[in-house]
Structure 1
Amino acid sequence: MFQVIERVPEIDVYNLEGEVLKDVKGEIEFKNVDFSYPARPDVKIFSNFCFHVPEGMTVALVGESGSGKSTVVSLIERFYDPQGGSILLDGTDLRNLQLKWLRQQIGLVSQEPVLFGTSIRDNIASGKDGATLEEIEQAAALANASSFISRLPKGYDTLVGEHGTQLSGGQKQRVAIARAILKNPCILLLDEATSALDAASERLVQDAVDRVMLGRTTVIVAHRLTTIKNADVIAVVQHGAIIEQGKHDELLQSSIGAYSQLIHLQQMHQVEESNEDVDGMVTRLSSQNQKPGSYKLSRRSSSFNSESAASMHSLSLQKTGNEPTTRAKKGFFLHWCRPKVVEDPELGQDKTVAPEVSIFRLALLNKPEALIYLVGALAAIANGCLFPIYGLLMSNVIKTFFETREKLKKDANFWAAMFLVIACAAMVVIPVQLTCFSIAGNRLIRRVRQLTFKSVLRQEISWFDKSENASGAISARLEGDAVYVKSIVGDTLSLAVQNSSSLVAALVIAFTATWQLSLVILAIVPLLGLQGLAHVKFMKGFSADAKVMYEEASQVATDAVGSIRTVASFCAEEKVMQIYNEKCRSPLQKGIRQGVISGFVFGTANFVMFAAYAFCFWFGARLVQQGQISFGDVFRAFFAISMGALSISHSTGLLPDVSNAKSAVNSVFALLDRRSKIDPSDTSGLIPSSGSVVGNIEFRHVGFTYPSRPDVKVLKDLSLFVKAGKSVALVGESGCGKSTIISLLERFYDPDTGHIYLDGADIKKLQVRWLRQQMGLVGQEPVLFNTTIRENIVYGMSGNVSEEQIVRAAEAANAHKFISELPDGYETCVGERGVQLSGGQKQRVAIARAIIKDPKILLLDEATSALDAESEHIVQEALENVMVQRTVIVIAHRLSTIKNADLIVVLKNGVVAEQGRHEELLRSKDGAYATLAKLYTAST
């Protein structure tokens, strides 16, 4: 801990030394820059890289994924420093400028927008200190975010959830853009800032961004023509070097140039607007009377084809209670489980108090270690007896000093030998005691964490939508609860057994010496016990409250660390610390109260103990004076009782741990006992007798609201049929319910009304694990795990997966080439959430992960939105190959992605506005789809 506290970062935002330029013009220059990421020092990103951005100009960086575009943005923000060369702002090396001031001059909107788990108002306001509501609303209006925010019941005060997961991708992006607009920066960095927006939103937001860019130095990282074509300078980056730059029209003059080829690839995927615009197509199709011919999406044969096409009758189902042969890892689904609306913490938050749990239930968890506990308990009993025996020896030693010289010498040797015997016994029993209880306790920690994590993974997705179940809180439970639980069956239990045996042995010795004195002192012991019980009662309430408070603080820390680039770019370190301190203030105040009460209890316990000593001496003296007992009997009883009292005082010191442990035990078992509404580990559902599916999907009068927002209707009596082996594209504005359909199909949630059928069977009756095994999902924001590329690709697969299968899946996703170029190849660790890869590279690995699964149903939620034109072209072909004889649901807002679908469904406000093929929908000039098509064409 002190290493972290004392560590001085190489790039320190709190270091206020450095230059502050009086007038920022905005000229940026990279001079002979060498750079490789610290996590992969052997992979050279830039070597002698030179790049110039004139003041007030807009420069667009284009190129394939992984070419170094986003690295330019990271270096300008000083997230990293180059190993060689220099980066200049208005002729001054960035390393010579004050870091906090530098980042205040820069506005950043990233490809994967990161929001904090606070309100929309606070997220936008983080772009500027002391921002007024008027300024926030103005920034939201410029980012085209005010319309959807105003429709929320709490408006700008609506909580966005952990990492903004309660908003759709487009909504998150617009809030992030509003945050950057409010900052009013001198330099604007846009890293795929509009990639998550639909055509209508993109056009409006792009207009807003264009206005913000006026007079500012702007660096754009993008692959869409509509985003980059108006830039003052376009630079093509390839393998860490600029191979071509110029204006859009200039670069297009070279037919063999890199930029010209990228544009050509992109235009190949657009609607035939190069020969005929959408308006003309709409007019032509509207004038035709004949029905269009049957149209099917062109698909090539693939090695990933299903073995055979099943017939289209309903599934023959059978009940099963056995484990399925294919086992999917549950963690894969948790990252695609977030709802696409915002959360109101006052609604649907059924916080329940953990019920009291008997300590015997915890003991049952430790049943496999019963023999170890038995050995440890015997050692603890022996250790406990040593203290009263020590008291007995002390009383005899004192008595010895009153004997004659000859007898003193003889008895002194004997009692000294007895002390050595006690020392030898202690040397044996204490290590055995501590070792046994430590082994049993650590095994329990592992078991509790495994069971708790297993229980977490089996919970339905709506459980994760609640703030108390955010990732930071869950991590705190897994870490803290298990440790507290261990304390009650480890150190606490060990000392309890030891001290109990010590007390019993002390009383036996004392009663043997003088029953009169011992009986009086025994009457005082319950007073100490009553104080202990009162203390436990108080501490239990404190522990439960403090536990929740520290979980909230832990969540703030988790959000900040997970979003450290966003925190750094907006210089929000002090603001995050302020929030963290506020979360820690209540536990601190309660801790002071705890300390006062604990001190009073411990002080009173010691007062009673010493008062007992005083009474013991007084009453013993009376008994000696009356001739009922001897001097030696008083000392034997006194020392024995003293050792027993010492044991009780030790036990009193354990009371805080006991109360914390009881609270942790209740929390653990509350989670273990909770029955998930949609349990992926439940094997009691139905599976088809053939073990495969045909792929017919039907939504029949489906109504749905997210549990966290029951007053917002997402889907309203939606009916939709997807024919087996066909592709269906869902289009519509952000937040209209497209991703919700995928969430319902994956059974992340269940509909409130209506039914969803797979081959005629209600999916609620199907085995959840088997159902999800039939589906491959590629989301808009690819989530990779902090392990190797190989393990990410095979994630969720059962059994052994051959190297050939992995390579084929990567080749199909156009990922094999860049993976092979890495020094460690498929063994390269991608870092937390895949931070070591570019956005496009992450997306291709995610696609490979879906391909290798060989699913019968493919769900693509903006699967190619993060790819450059060349990669998109190749991956789109790969996906079309994989789509052969599979039911496919595609969510997209690019016409190039959806126009060849067998069926296009336009959603608006949770209902199907219209559906049909591309040409059919364009017949209606005023139709929703035709309108979207026109917007898309206008933007391109």
Structure 2
Amino acid sequence: MPFMTIIFGDTIDSFGGTVNTKDVVHKVSKMSLNFVYLALGSGVASFFQMACWMVTGERQAARIRSLYLKTILRQDIGFFDKEAKTGEIVGRMSGDTVLIQDALGEKVGKFIQLVATFVGGFVIAFVKGWLLALVLLSSFPPLVISAAAMSIIIGKMASQGQTAYSVAATVVEQTIGSIRTVASYTGEKEAITKYKKSLTKAYKSGVQEGLAAGLGLGAATFIMFCSYALAIWFGGKMILEKGYTGGDVINVLFAVLTGSVSLGQASPCMSAFAAGQAAAFKMFETINRKPKIDAYNTEGLQLDDIRGDIELRDVHFSYPARPEEQIFSGFSLSIPSGTTAALVGQSGSGKSTVINLIERFYDPQAGEVLIDNINLREFQLKWIRKKIGLVSQEPVLFTSSIKDNIAYGKDGATTEEIRAAVELANAAKFIDKLPQGLDTMVGEHGTQLSGGQKQRVAIARAILKDPRILLLDEATSALDAESERIVQEALDRIMTNRTTIIIAHRLSTVRNADMIAVIHQGKIVEKGTHSELTKEPEGPYSQLIRLQDLSTVSEQNALDDQDMLEPMNSVRNLSQQFSLLQSISQKSSEIGNSSRHSFSITFGVPTTSMLETEPIESNAQALAPSQLPPEVSLCRLAYLSKPEIIVLLLGSIAAVANGVIFPVLGIVISGMIKTFYEPRDELRKDSKFWALIFVLLGVASLLAQPSKSYFFAVAGCKLIRRIRLMCFKKVVYMEVSWFDEPEHSSGALGARLSADAASMRGLATSFNA
């Protein structure tokens, strides 16, 4: 563009400074060829500029997305307790990477082009007429200030909007991930209200961002038009006093005009950079985070094997999310290899914390966790975790086949190894009855399987790697009687020759344990075998058994005779429970527990549920592949904007007014060029007139540009909010079976709401532009 101003200036001189017609035709023909050569070079350069930078943006975004996911998987559990939520992570990977891609893609090439235009324009201007160029340069500081203010405000508003969208993404993930619970409690309206609240915050930020962009661009255009007015007036003086030609003034003016306009055209790029920077800041904050427990750390001990001796020695621990609540204060426990140890006690006493420390999900603040008399911190984390198998109360299954879920337990597991694990887990019978066997899809979170079936798949996954240490965290507490019996048979098979720690809810499942430890408020108050502990009729373990039996009987009576309860029986039961609690508290004090609180037992009472049916429903078969969604016409999107018709009308009027300015500018420029070749008296008068016209055009732009940006931001952000809310409302009220399809998982739907809405916002922004 700056080179074009040289050719254009020479062309103007050819028309205005030559009297002979033949000379005019010859010179103009020569200039025309120069325009053709410039067009060819510009076309080739533009193609490579756009193609290369678009590819670069795509690759950078993919690399950042991959690095972010790798870093997330690397973090310690404390990070997820305090700093990150699943919905926020999905929103960042889908929505924020779109903004980063936009900031690293073709807009970088465009910005470099515009900067080169700006520099080249002013260089040519100074070469052709340094005094006039120096006067025009006075407009540069106000331009920089307005652009910087706009960039700062847009970055701040974009960051607030992204935070609000992250909260909205968390609501989506939590709602869809637990859609059965939401539907059973008719919590759809509450979820929609929370989602709408987050979208409203994002809407306000979007409108403020649009207004800031409009004000910045309007101010920049006003300053540029004022500088043109100054150039016309001062250029006339240069022609009269310094011997400039009309072509020289036009060359300098258009070189500065081209350079200055390039700054205005750079404002969308700067807006994209600010939004991308705000998105990248939060992503790279996570990427650069150094985890306290690094899952990818390759340093540490790797032995041939371990025996399985476990010891917690004088452990002090509190969770990172609740540092003021001390779980363990000097806790010690020793479990010899090959034995089965059961941990019992009230909820919140610290039983699951023992498993969390052995798995090294957390490190104690003081004390040691030892395996084979070696501090757990000295082992390579990945290696030691391969020696430990974990089965939780609520098994976690992924949206894939049964075979894939089991194979996650061991890298490179063969089909024969998976089949052997299935047999050991007592799961072969129900899997063989499925139409697709091991290839049956389990649905999101395993919703296509019953509780007992999910638990057996989880057991097969845990024993696939043949662990030396097996951790069972209330593995049967959530199951009905028949499912518990089947799962318990599987557990009895696999506990042989392994160090096993059982966290038990039902005390009947730990009678055969080699050691039972009763934990109360982070301390072991009693320890021994079942037979040893029951010899103390007033001991904590015996009291736990009687209290659980009493709770079971009370529950059974309530189920059998719910309408005929006698008040005296309730009083008697309460009295018995109180005496049991009191005696347990006394026994706890005798053992040395210094806590001021009594040892209260709050075990949940097992409920009766339907017996597990071995085969699952036929709709658990492999789902048909999803079809591509049909294209949506722009007319439908326009119809969705019907409530904002007045706002769109006002925005269109402002856009028309802003658009008319530049065609009018062509007329003004032609009159201005003619003035430079007029006699001296007319030149002095007309230069002032055209300078005033440029100022008026600047005022019109200052009013029209912010109005256009504001009204279209209001309409566009309301459209995005409406579409997001409509989609979410439609999704949460779908039948539950709809969510069993892989393409309707919480992650897929959350990403679709984030990424597609970001794309639609880009469409609205392009329409505004």
> What range describes the TM-score normalised by the shorter chain of this pair?
0.5 to 0.7
Q: Distance in 2 between matches of 1:866 and 1:824?
A: 27
Residues 129-176 of structure 1, C-alpha deviations (whole Å, 9 max, x = no match): xxxxxxxxxxxxxxxxxxxxxxxxxxxxxxxxxxxxxxxxxxxxxxxx
2:490 match: 878
Q: Distance in 2 between matches of 1:824 and 1:639?
A: 73
* Contact 1:906/1:928, CA 8 A, preserved across alignment: yes
SS in 2 for 1:687: coil
Residues 844-870 of structure 1, C-alpha deviations (whole Å, 9 max, x = no match): 111111011211100011223455555
Report the Cα offset of residue 728 of structure 1.
0.6
Does 1:554 pair with 2:169? yes
2:280 match: 665
Does 1:887 pair with 2:503? no
2:4 match: 390
Residues 302-359 of structure 1, C-alpha deviations (whole Å, 9 max, x = no match): xxxxxxxxxxxxxxxxxxxxxxxxxxxxxxxxxxxxxxxxxxxxxxxxxxxxxxxxxx
2:382 match: 769
Q: 2:345 pairs with 732, 737, 760, which one? A: 732
* Contact 1:451/1:672, CA 8 A, preserved across alignment: yes
Q: 2:298 pairs with 675, 683, 697, which one? A: 683
CA RMSD of aligned residues (A): 2.3
1:406 match: 22
Q: 1:651 pairs with 266, 274, 280, which one? A: 266
Structure 2 matches for 1:94-109, cutoff 5 A? none
Q: Distance in 1 between matches of 2:180 and 2:5?
A: 64
SS in 2 for 1:462: helix
Q: Which moved more, 1:656-665 or 1:626-635?
A: 656-665
Structure 2 matches for 1:611-622, cutoff 5 A? 611-622=226-237
1:366 match: none
> Radius of gyration: which is bigger?
2
* Contact 2:452/2:487, CA 8 A, preserved across alignment: no
Q: Distance in 2 between matches of 1:847 and 1:574?
A: 38
Report the Cα offset of residue 400 of structure 1.
4.2
AA partner of residue 216 (structure 2) = V
AA partner of residue 581 (structure 1) = K
Number of equivalences: 550
Q: Distance in 1 between matches of 2:514 and 2:528?
A: 8
Report the Cα offset of residue 871 of structure 1.
4.7
Q: Distance in 2 between matches of 1:456 and 1:767?
A: 19
Gap runs ≥5 in structure 2:
554-769
Q: Distance in 1 between matches of 2:525 and 2:107?
A: 65
Report the Cα offset of residue 502 of structure 1.
1.1
Q: Distance in 2 between matches of 1:453 and 1:664?
A: 15
* Contact 2:331/2:522, CA 8 A, preserved across alignment: yes
AA partner of residue 40 (structure 2) = C
1:442 match: 58
* Contact 1:843/1:867, CA 8 A, preserved across alignment: no
Q: Distance in 1 between matches of 2:24 and 2:430?
A: 89
1:934 match: 546
Does 1:753 pair with 2:366? yes
Does 1:915 pair with 2:527? yes
2:335 match: 722
Q: Which moved more, 1:738-747 or 1:820-829?
A: 820-829
Q: 1:582 pairs with 161, 175, 197, which one? A: 197
Structure 2 matches for 1:413-428, cutoff 5 A? 413-428=29-44
Q: Which moved more, 1:919-928 or 1:563-572?
A: 563-572
Q: Distance in 2 between matches of 1:482 and 1:577?
A: 26
AA partner of residue 70 (structure 2) = K
2:68 match: 452
Q: Distance in 1 between matches of 2:31 and 2:64?
A: 48
Q: Distance in 2 between matches of 1:577 and 1:397?
A: 64
SS in 2 for 1:514: helix
Q: Distance in 1 between matches of 2:395 and 2:539?
A: 33
Report the Cα offset of residue 890 of structure 1.
0.9
2:635 match: none
Q: 2:147 pairs with 514, 532, 537, which one? A: 532
SS in 1 for 2:294: coil
Q: 2:45 pairs with 418, 429, 440, which one? A: 429
SS in 2 for 1:552: helix
Q: Distance in 2 between matches of 1:471 and 1:524?
A: 49
Q: Which moved more, 1:850-859 or 1:487-496?
A: 487-496
Q: Distance in 1 between matches of 2:186 and 2:25?
A: 79
Q: 1:704 pairs with 272, 297, 317, which one? A: 317
Q: Distance in 1 between matches of 2:295 and 2:238?
A: 73
Residues 530-572 of structure 1, C-alpha deviations (whole Å, 9 max, x = no match): 2222322333333344333332232122212222222223332
AA partner of residue 424 (structure 1) = L
Does 1:785 pair with 2:405? no
Structure 2 matches for 1:332-351, cutoff 5 A? none
TM-score norm. by structure 2 comes to 0.68
SS in 2 for 1:755: strand
2:187 match: 572
Q: Distance in 2 between matches of 1:677 and 1:670?
A: 15
AA partner of residue 756 (structure 1) = V
Q: Distance in 2 between matches of 1:533 and 1:813?
A: 64
Structure 2 matches for 1:462-481, cutoff 5 A? 462-466=78-82, 468-481=83-96
Report the Cα offset of residue 734 of structure 1.
2.1
Q: Distance in 1 between matches of 2:427 and 2:252?
A: 81
* Contact 1:682/1:767, CA 8 A, preserved across alignment: yes
Report the Cα offset of residue 708 of structure 1.
1.5
Q: Distance in 2 between matches of 1:738 and 1:807?
A: 32
Report the Cα offset of residue 433 of structure 1.
0.9
AA partner of residue 523 (structure 1) = S
Residues 675-711 of structure 1, C-alpha deviations (whole Å, 9 max, x = no match): 21111112223333xx211111111222322121223
AA partner of residue 390 (structure 1) = M
SS in 1 for 2:462: helix
2:157 match: 542
Q: 1:520 pairs with 122, 135, 152, which one? A: 135
Q: 1:860 pairs with 472, 484, 503, which one? A: 472
Q: Distance in 2 between matches of 1:687 and 1:806?
A: 25
2:178 match: 563
Does 1:811 pair with 2:423? yes
Q: Distance in 2 between matches of 1:873 and 1:822?
A: 21
2:729 match: none
Q: Distance in 2 between matches of 1:400 and 1:560?
A: 72
Report the Cα offset of residue 741 of structure 1.
0.9
* Contact 1:812/1:875, CA 8 A, preserved across alignment: no
Q: Among the aligned pairs, what percent are the same residue? A: 40
1:828 match: 440
Report the Cα offset of residue 493 of structure 1.
1.9
* Contact 2:517/2:528, CA 8 A, preserved across alignment: yes
Report the Cα offset of residue 839 of structure 1.
2.1
Give the direction of change, closer, same or farther, for the CA distance of 1:646–1:822 in structure 2 (3 Å limit): farther
1:625 match: 240
SS in 1 for 2:121: helix
* Contact 2:311/2:334, CA 8 A, preserved across alignment: yes
SS in 2 for 1:523: helix
Q: 1:741 pairs with 315, 330, 354, which one? A: 354
Comparing both structures, which one devotes a greater share of its residues to helix?
Answer: 2
Does 1:598 pair with 2:207? no
* Contact 2:426/2:489, CA 8 A, preserved across alignment: no
AA partner of residue 532 (structure 2) = E
AA partner of residue 827 (structure 1) = D
Residues 406-439 of structure 1, C-alpha deviations (whole Å, 9 max, x = no match): 3344444444443333333333222211111122
Residues 738-783 of structure 1, C-alpha deviations (whole Å, 9 max, x = no match): 1111011111112233222111112123222222121000111111
* Contact 1:696/1:758, CA 8 A, preserved across alignment: yes
Report the Cα offset of residue 397 of structure 1.
4.1
1:274 match: none
Give the direction of change, closer, same or farther, for the CA distance of 1:543–1:472 in structure 2 (3 Å limit): same
Report the Cα offset of residue 604 of structure 1.
1.1
AA partner of residue 428 (structure 2) = H
AA partner of residue 97 (structure 2) = A
